């Protein structure tokens, strides 16, 4: 199911992130890049063993990926040519810098995409699943971070917010129409 709303360089899609034909999809990863549930597990399953192998190599070098940071792997068997892995914050009531860390996840993912000369990037709703970030606040934080980042990037031409559920889709639609 694809519903799209365009506003400049931002596109809203209701659908499956793993099916996006873009330069990179963003993985809402855990700090060990091991694949888990939700988006992370879906990307690792759809992308196949190449992604997992590259993630193991990265973790072998850096130990773990800090919250708000981003790294790049190939897309394996995905339509997307690359996967940008970022660790979003776990919601702890809003008193532990969660909004800044979530914005960092989006900004650092886009910065990495721009450095790699990628033009199209698709994001899931980072941290809104098992990490418990309130969806409305997450959408606002993500939208603002992406809008701000796009003003300074030279290579990224399109950012997609890919929502799997109606609630997130409606929240992003309100932001785009607002």
Active-site positions? 40
DSSP H helical ranges for the chain: 38-47, 49-62, 98-115, 135-150, 166-177
Residue whose token pair is 């785009």: 176
Tokens of 109: 């993912």
Q: How far is Cα 32 from Cα 29, in angstroms, rounded to an integer?
A: 8
- Alpha-carbon Rg for the chain, nearest whole angstrom, is 15
Q: How far is Cα 126 from Cα 163, in angstroms, rounded to an integer?
A: 10
Closest CA to 87 of 31, 149, 135: 31
């Amino acid at each position: 199911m694809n519903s799209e709303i365009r506003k400049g360089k931002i596109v809203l899609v209701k659908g499956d992130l793993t099916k996006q034909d873009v330069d990179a999809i963003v993985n809402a990863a855990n700090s060990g890049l091991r694949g888990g549930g939700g988006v992370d597990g879906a990307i690792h399953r759809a992308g196949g063993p190449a992604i997992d192998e590259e993630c193991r190599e990265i973790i072998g070098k850096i130990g773990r990926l800090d919250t708000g940071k981003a790294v790049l792997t190939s897309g394996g068997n995905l339509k997307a040519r690359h996967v940008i892995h970022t660790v979003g914050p776990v919601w702890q009531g809003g008193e532990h810098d969660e909004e800044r860390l979530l914005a960092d996840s989006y900004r650092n993912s886009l910065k990495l995409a721009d450095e790699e000369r990628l033009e199209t990037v698709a994001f899931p709703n980072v941290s809104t699943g098992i990490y418990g970030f309130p969806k409305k606040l997450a959408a606002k934080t993500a939208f603002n971070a992406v809008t701000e980042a796009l003003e300074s990037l030279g290579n990224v031409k399109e950012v997609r917010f890919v929502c799997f559920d109606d609630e997130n889709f409606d929240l992003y639609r309100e932001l785009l129409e607002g």
